[in-house]
A and B are shown apart, each in its own frame.
Chain A
């Protein structure tokens, strides 16, 4: 399978715990995006990377959230001190045959986070 992969697919945690999600983009895609989707809503942009550089962060990305893409390949999204309001589907997408903003973004299956 050469699509975007995300792990884990499901995560249940208790409030206050830290969680980390991983995204493996399509090989050689230089842009990687994180989105959050709550039930009944469209995905909301969180942040994106061009290679290893984090170029933009949404105001939704509070100080408890941090994302990395250290080698310009896979990325991790960490949420510290989780809150019930963090419960959502976290989606990763990658793009970048030309490296431009209008390259098609292909999404992974998402990680569903439930904070108890």
Chain B
């Protein structure tokens, strides 16, 4: 069925390196995409979003890239820190408002 998914379930990076987390989506009608960070025992925390009329958006240490041609979304984290260790979810919405989440990628940062 249609779903937002992730290429890698786990990602381990060295502190200070850049991290790239990928996400594939299947519905070309999706118009809004969001990345959330979830730490153990906590609710998802908003990181950054992007609308379908954009290709790139930058925040503080994070960049989201959207490639509508191949239905691919990525989250880049610059200078990854131990505090970035968490599960990262991409989510999409198709105009109804309810978010459709993927399974998540667990990011581990090695000191």
Q: A residues engaging B (CB < 8 A)? A: 4, 31, 33, 35, 40-45, 48, 55-56, 58, 91, 93, 95, 100-102, 104-110
Contacts and interface: CB of A to CB of B under 8 A. Distances in A.
B54 interface: no
Contact of A105 (B4, B99, B102): B99
Contacts of A91: 43-44
A42 B49 contact: no
A107 B34 CA distance: 13
Nearest to B3: A42
Contacts of A102: 31-32, 49, 51, 93
Given A44-B101, A108-B43, A110-B43, 4 more contacts: A56-B98, A58-B98, A93-B99, A101-B95
Interface of B: 4, 31-32, 34, 36, 41-46, 49, 51, 89, 91, 93, 95-104
Contact of B98 (A42, A48, A107, A110): A48
8 contacts: A42-B4, A42-B89, A43-B89, A45-B98, A91-B44, A107-B44, A107-B45, A110-B43
Contacts of B45: 107
Contact of A45 (B31, B36, B100, B104): B100
A33 B89 CA distance: 17
B3 to A, nearest CB: 9
